[in-house]
A and B are shown apart, each in its own frame.
Chain A
Amino acid sequence: MGTETLNPKGGAVESKGLKAGALGLASATVVGVASTAPAYSLAASLGLVTAAVGFKAPAIMWLSFIPMGCIAAAFFYLNRADPDCGTNFAWVTRAMGPRTGWLGGWSSMMADLIIMPSLALIAAQYSFTFFGLDNLAANTWCTLALGIIFIMGMTWICVVGIELSARTQMALLLTELIVLVLFSVVAIFKVYGNDIHGAVHPAMSWIIPTHFGGVSAMSEGLLAAVFIYWGWDTASSVNEECENANSTPGLAGVLSTVILVAIFMLVAIAAQSVKGADFLSNNSDDVLAATGHLVFGGSGIGRIALKVLIIAVLTSSAASCQTTILPAARTSLSMAMHRAFPPKLGEVDPRHLTPAFSTWLFGIFSCVWLTGLVILSRATGGDVLSWSVNGVGLMIAYYYGQTGIACVIYFRKHIFTSAKNFFLVGLLPLIGGLTLAFVFVWSIKDMSHPSFESPPTDWLGVSPTLWLGLGTLVAGIPLMFWWNQHDHAFFRVKTDPVDQRPPPEGGEPLPPLVPEGAPR
């Protein structure tokens, strides 16, 4: 993409082919890894993975990457085909029609909403723990209050458009990775030195993907682990901005993958060897703080290391909060621009150049959602954090799965034209899509029983997680029909003709989804 020059009379003049901004290999990798927020993801879900599959958590860590990697191929090629529309909402609309596309956009925003309570509460708990205020960390109302402050603060940061410089981001990420490695190495050393009572020596069987204890256990583990890798796809979808669009994103994708899979497996192995898998499940709300305390001890250098570990979780939650609010606001802006949402949501604030209205709306909704869930969990007994992570897993499985299948449908005429196409736009997206579809359906089956939760929690006969994960998705349907009554233009969009374009060149920009000035 080049520069456009407006002459003084205001007409656009094509300019001299400046190349679009460059995102280097390191930056692209950092974006990929940072968007995944490893320390926070582990803090939020490691205990849930072990609760599902016990000592098989490390195996789940690499196994769950497979569907995610497959879906990344779909993201990559759909983005290539239609770089003018940067969201899965637009791609799914082109491949599968406006209603499916609308629900796709809706589900990605709901995924963002569902995870906000987990982000806010973990940030609040670890903040209190950092200052040694353990009794406040255990107090529901204190963590709720700090959580709300955290959400509103992060929303403000997103509205104003404050962003960390590339170097700051790199420094934070390196600290995060180094402290996680340090934690793991020290833990494993102490385990082999028999320094920790109740330690379990790591075993080969931990990473072998068999004997998960049933399909339901595996599917539950996958659901939590899919959440861990959520956000990683960003590295592959920012391909247009890379210095060498053909190799950088691919290489950055591979690099960030290797880093992530390695760190997740390492931490999972180390953490469960400290005191066994059950210890993680029982401390699922503050896994890293609890094991960190055992590993680093309470004095001297260990104390400092523990503080750094807590800071890493905190900065990681803040980063993750930013990469949750920003996409939610951007998707709703995108949908409004394509007339799938009210136009107010498509406005950009002229002072900050951000979708301020969408962003505030999302922030406020998140606080209401968080407060509601905390009150409900107090009333019915249950754990907001595990509801959020399992619920969001369901939603991610839905919209990633949908993207994989959309890729196969969109390129169906080109799948058999070459071996490369067959694998990259056919087989991989199909495997990813079907795996996630299976996890989605199987989880719904499991979650429909109150016994899915521990302790069993019954909301009108089904588990709270299902209300969160599926309820919010279904709630979109009446909204969609309501908007259809208001403005029908988006819902008249036809799917693209099958022979549109071969992957991956792209070519001429596709026409906009909704032509300008289309009637209601």
Chain B
Amino acid sequence: MAGDVILGYDGQEGSEAALGTATRIAAAFKTRLVIVFGYRPAPIGGDVTDLARAVRAVGERITSEALDAVRTLDASVTAEVELVDDRPAEAILRAADEHDALAIVVGAAGRGPLTGALLGSVTYNVVHRSTRPVVVVPAPERA
């Protein structure tokens, strides 16, 4: 469906806050929320296939918890999960194209701009390669 909101979700730091924001955007624009989880590990290090399968199993659990969280936050939002056989950033970008997304919502994992560039963070990747609006949600400050 065109105009969906895409949420890149991996259950890590920052994901939680991004989930809240994405739910609110989806509710405000009355669109569907698609929770995307890319489960393919880095090719460097070889032996990818079995690890991908194991990560996918974890992803199933993480995203179903996310789905519950969305329903708890706002029961009026229609949400669905997509588990994608790809690196996380690629998964998000592809899903966004596939759904002709209104916007992509991702969490900022707390890495600075330089480390993000050197270490290839998912958020950095998505922000710089997306052709659509990207909402980056910072993790709440730790006390």
Contact = CB atoms under 8 A, between A and B. Distances in A.
A322 B44 CA distance: 9
Nearest to A327: B46
Majority DSSP secondary structure for residues of A touching B: loop
Nearest to B88: A353
A322 B81 CA distance: 32
Interface stretch (B1-9, B20-28, B56-64, B130-138): B56-64
A233 B44 CA distance: 11
Contacts of A15: 82
Contacts of A1: 85
Contact of A322 (B45, B49, B82, B118): B45
A163 B81 CA distance: 26
Interface in B71-110: 78-87, 90-91, 94-95, 98
Contacts of B118: 164-165, 168
A213 B91 CA distance: 56
A155 interface: no
Nearest to A334: B50
Contact of A353 (B43, B58, B86): B58
Contacts of A22: 90
B47 interface: yes
Interface string A235-262: 0011001000000000000000000000
A4 B51 contact: no
Interface size on B, as a range, is 35 or more
B43 A238 contact: yes
A241 B55 CA distance: 17
A163 B120 contact: yes
A264 B55 CA distance: 37
Interface stretch (A79-87, A436-444, A446-454): A79-87
A36 B83 CA distance: 32
A168 B98 CA distance: 29
B49 A164 contact: no
A6 to B, nearest CB: 4
A20 B85 contact: yes
B45 to A, nearest CB: 3
A333 B44 contact: no
Nearest to B120: A165
A204 interface: no
B44 A87 contact: no
Contacts of A21: 40, 85-87, 90-91
Nearest to B95: A3
Contacts of B125: 165
A6 B45 contact: no
A385 B95 CA distance: 49
B122 to A, nearest CB: 11
B10 interface: yes
A5 interface: yes
A22 B11 CA distance: 25
Interface residues of A, number: 57
Interface string A44-82: 000000000000000000000000000000000000000
A326 interface: yes
Interface stretch (A344-352, A361-369, A404-412): A344-352
Interface in B12-46: 12, 39-46
B44 A323 contact: yes
A163 B51 CA distance: 16
Q: Name, among A83, A323, A350, the residue most crowded by chain B CB atoms within 10 Å (CB to CB).
A: A350
Contact of B82 (A6, A86, A90): A6
B1 to A, nearest CB: 12
Interface string A1-42: 111111110100001101011110000000100110000000
Contact of A35 (B44, B86, B124): B44
A15 B51 CA distance: 22
A400 to B, nearest CB: 13
A419 interface: no
A396 B49 CA distance: 22
A163 B44 contact: yes
Given A162-B119, A163-B119, A353-B10, A7 B80 contact: yes
B60 to A, nearest CB: 7
Interface centre among B39, B47, B83, B90 (most CB of A within 10 A): B47
A182 interface: no
A142 interface: no
A355 interface: yes
Given A165-B118, A165-B119, A238 B46 contact: yes
A166 interface: yes
Contacts of A350: 11, 58, 61-62
B39 to A, nearest CB: 8
A31 B44 contact: yes
Given A164-B119, A168-B119, A353-B58, A326 B80 contact: no
Given A3-B84, A16-B98, A165-B117, A84 B44 contact: no
A339 interface: no
Nearest to A79: B49
Contacts of A4: 82-83
B84 A166 contact: no
A390 interface: no
Contacts of A334: 47, 50-51
A2 B91 CA distance: 11
Contacts of A352: 12
Given A3-B95, A337-B50, 14 more contacts: A4-B82, A6-B80, A6-B83, A21-B40, A21-B87, A35-B46, A87-B46, A87-B49, A162-B119, A164-B120, A165-B124, A327-B47, A337-B53, A348-B54
9 contacts: A1-B85, A6-B60, A16-B98, A21-B40, A21-B91, A31-B44, A165-B124, A330-B45, A346-B54
Interface of A: 1-8, 10, 15-16, 18, 20-23, 31, 34-35, 83-87, 90, 162-169, 233-234, 237-238, 241, 322-323, 326-327, 330-331, 333-334, 337-338, 346-348, 350-355
Q: Which 9 A-B pairs have the closest CB atoms?
A: A326-B45, A165-B120, A86-B49, A21-B86, A330-B47, A334-B50, A6-B81, A238-B43, A1-B85
